[in-house]
Structure 1
């Protein structure tokens, strides 16, 4: 290589992250538990590609040369714009519409995968992150929505979060009815009112009242303009937020039906509750909406104690599939934010670590004997034991053991010339060695005792390693 050639700086783009083996293993274990619940409810897996035609995602802006508002886009060889998927729901709608004739109806599926947002990154806000969704397409009744809520509760229980969450439920039809009763007709004003209601948990009733009126000034002095409601309009909305039952409409009846199903299935208000402050997808959802809120306290970046908050949610979106087909197609579903949920499990001690799953390492004491070492590794692998032969360049025993430590190896296998002549092997239990090291401070004593190391017959390699791994469990 030309010494004057400029080296490329190894830089990770903002909004993206690398994942280590322990993180991957822990999240995989969490996903497996979620998948088990989904499949118990009768949902089947489906995968859609990372790329979709941009118009499929609904993010194409015809007045721009490049559709990059919120999505990462490129043109294919036919000059058609494609974008990395923004979520997992729009691709599902395309998949269902494209395979409408062959799919069962209702169509019940789940998907887990990466999604991409071309948005400004920040603390805890990534441009690539994982979602785990479940959806029922083709079922119009509130029974399908209630089932989603119950499945969300079962997922949280399966992850060890019983008593630390609540699934909160509302209905966009109820919200629309309240806005109609209050005489709020302007679409922009409607969105401002709904955003104000959505801030109830964060700002309290006084903060919501301010946002419904002229506006609210926060602690830093920043001012957020309000909806500008009249006193009577303000009272109508606040009565609803305070729990007063709104006039009967389709949304109220649907929530009543869902509550009946929750009661029949044994899901009390400690797990699932009707909550008028739930507002999701201001221009997206058409009926029941729901979210999982974790209720245990955490300290935010300002040092304040707050509840952890939402880790997922969803609702009914009857208009999405109709973008592809003329007839109405009802649909409901929810999405879990995998990274945020994993962070919550880590805080509560419920995220399983995969750090102890390293391989048994067969050390290379003599380079001319690699065939013998490879034979040992093959025996272990054929017995289903994760293992590897040391492939580094060093012959130093200590450095090879240090490598095994970094790999979280449970043990190393040692065969030098003396062991080879006697037909034996040395096994060094690295877990037992680390435990013994806590009580031995003298280096001479350490070398003399060789804690965790024992001798076996060469023929007993597989059985000895199996016993050692069983003892470490």
Structure 2
């Protein structure tokens, strides 16, 4: 009789395109989200938490990864035949929420939301299938003031989380201007929708592919470093020249850029309307004190999603970092958005103007870490070690006293037999302090306090005179424990 096959153990590994986040990763993200939320709240936006699951019909077909049609979302079919999917961004769910509850919401409706989104895309280095977004949108206003406000708020937000002025720029364009350019180039009309989509995605890749790569995608297509070939838009040289001229329209001043754009779209009503909107946004931002050192007009900004109908904007960090091969490069985009006046119309049948921005939380966190603005001072909890198992109630009293004073603290709950292991645990937790008390200390009503921060410094620089006479462990009366811990932490 054959032996029954053993069921193989499951592999303990994260699925491709996903990641696990520990300790400081989560606390740093939460701190940043709080800072962003405070700016959004100050601008008058209300919080909204919508469902992570939407019907596929409600999400629509606006995914940026159109090379994988109908595979861009994580979806499943219900018993009743309906298809549901995890949200791929925060904007499509907002359109559904507004259409569903519009009679109960103020008009305009200003909301912000934070949370994970999921995209069933091909994973790669730095490209995950689950990531956090932080959005703010105004629904129900056609005023360019709403777009200008979003850009001003984005500028304030970047500075609030620690990006210095001069280390970022918010770039603004208008999809209507690009539509005017494509009209002049002869690729307007419903029969040219596929070509326009390729053109939009090609321009959106300018930073990554450069002018030569974009030009190839406007024509027959290009082969990437892996040998994969991407079909192009099939434009002839004259048409491609018009599009490339649009991308090269940025001048030294906003006024000069606008003048050049007006030349490029001459004869196109939609293009000229887009230029006028850019002028209005620039004037409003200038009135608020947001100059070109923070926000500028840049025709190269397109945004990949197909639902944008007017102004589009992107926040780029301009400082240099090193890539995985040690080469310097600009950090790049961390946020983007724009006006999408047709999205709610899918539900209501009536045009509802809307505009908004989305911050890539993980990208922004990576930027802050790369510049040392977070992550360097993240200490773990104070650890109360256990020398006498029969005194657990006393140890619990100590940790409660620390916690009530607002100090992060814990009692060691591992095997206390080997005291060295307790200190190794504290080191692994990046603990700033260890509290030590055994039978002798309890008898004398004292505790030993081990300053692990100072101890680490002494270990690194033990030969320096400056550390002599500064013990990293000392005894204090039990009644003074809290005050001494606070002194060290505030140190």
Q: Residue 233 of structure 2 corresponds to which residue in structure 1?
A: 227
Instruction: Determine which of 36, 43, 48 is the counterpart of 2:50.
Output: 48
Instruction: Determine which of 88, 91, 95 is the counterpart of 1:89.
Output: 91
In structure 2, the CA distance between the partners of 1:210 and 1:400, relative to structure 1 (3 Å rule), is closer
Alpha-carbon offset, residue 214 of structure 1: 4.3
DSSP 3-state at the match of 2:335: strand
Deviates more, 1:163-172 or 1:408-417: 408-417
Superposition RMSD in Å:
2.7
Deviates more, 1:24-33 or 1:425-434: 24-33
Query: What is the CA–CA distance in structure 2 between the aligned matches of 1:295 and 1:82, rounded to whole Å?
Result: 39
Q: Residue 64 of structure 1 corresponds to which residue in structure 2?
A: none
Query: What is the CA–CA distance in structure 2 between the aligned matches of 1:188 and 1:284, rounded to whole Å?
Result: 14
Question: Does the Cα contact within 8 Å between 1:59 and 1:70 map onto a contact in 2?
Answer: no
Alpha-carbon offset, residue 231 of structure 1: 4.2
1:322 aligns with 2:345: yes
Q: Residue 478 of structure 2 corresponds to which residue in structure 1?
A: 458
In structure 2, the CA distance between the partners of 1:400 and 1:330, relative to structure 1 (3 Å rule), is same
Query: What is the CA–CA distance in structure 1 between the aligned matches of 2:79 and 2:233, rounded to whole Å?
Result: 47
Q: Residue 130 of structure 2 corresponds to which residue in structure 1?
A: 128
DSSP 3-state at the match of 1:99: helix
Instruction: Determine which of 232, 236, 243 is the counterpart of 2:242.
Output: 236
TM-score, reference length from structure 1: 0.89
Question: Does the Cα contact within 8 Å between 2:221 and 2:229 map onto a contact in 1?
Answer: yes
In structure 2, the CA distance between the partners of 1:5 and 1:451, relative to structure 1 (3 Å rule), is farther
1:420 aligns with 2:442: yes
Deviates more, 1:312-321 or 1:196-205: 196-205
Residue-pair matches, total: 457
DSSP 3-state at the match of 2:73: coil
Question: Does the Cα contact within 8 Å between 1:130 and 1:337 map onto a contact in 2?
Answer: yes
- Over residues 214-256 of structure 1, what are the superposed CA-to-partner deviations in whole Å (9 max), with x where a residue is unaligned? 4456677766544333444334333333323222621111111
1:160 aligns with 2:163: yes
In structure 2, the CA distance between the partners of 1:414 and 1:99, relative to structure 1 (3 Å rule), is same
DSSP 3-state at the match of 2:104: coil
Q: Residue 252 of structure 2 corresponds to which residue in structure 1?
A: none
Question: Does the Cα contact within 8 Å between 2:449 and 2:475 map onto a contact in 1?
Answer: yes
Alpha-carbon offset, residue 75 of structure 1: 4.0
In structure 2, the CA distance between the partners of 1:299 and 1:83, relative to structure 1 (3 Å rule), is same
DSSP 3-state at the match of 1:82: strand
DSSP 3-state at the match of 1:147: helix
Question: Does the Cα contact within 8 Å between 2:386 and 2:395 map onto a contact in 1?
Answer: yes
Query: What is the CA–CA distance in structure 2 between the aligned matches of 1:461 and 1:93, rounded to whole Å?
Result: 55
- Over residues 399-432 of structure 1, what are the superposed CA-to-partner deviations in whole Å (9 max), with x where a residue is unaligned? 1121122122221222211112212111111112
Instruction: Determine which of 382, 396, 399 is the counterpart of 2:421.
Output: 399
Alpha-carbon offset, residue 33 of structure 1: 2.1
* 1:282-321 equivalent positions in 2, closer than 5 A: 283-301=306-324, 304-321=327-344
Listed as ranges, the gaps of 5+ residues in structure 1 are 62-66
Listed as ranges, the gaps of 5+ residues in structure 2 are 1-5, 64-68, 250-259
DSSP 3-state at the match of 1:169: strand
1:32 aligns with 2:34: yes
DSSP 3-state at the match of 2:103: coil
Q: Residue 201 of structure 2 corresponds to which residue in structure 1?
A: 195
Query: What is the CA–CA distance in structure 2 between the aligned matches of 1:315 and 1:17, rounded to whole Å?
Result: 29
Alpha-carbon offset, residue 210 of structure 1: 4.2
Question: Does the Cα contact within 8 Å between 1:30 and 1:351 map onto a contact in 2?
Answer: no
Instruction: Determine which of 136, 144, 148 is the counterpart of 1:146.
Output: 148
Alpha-carbon offset, residue 303 of structure 1: 5.7
Deviates more, 1:174-183 or 1:382-391: 382-391
Deviates more, 1:205-214 or 1:97-106: 205-214
DSSP 3-state at the match of 1:136: strand
Q: Residue 175 of structure 1 corresponds to which residue in structure 2?
A: 178
In structure 2, the CA distance between the partners of 1:53 and 1:364, relative to structure 1 (3 Å rule), is same
TM-score, reference length from structure 2: 0.86
DSSP 3-state at the match of 1:115: strand
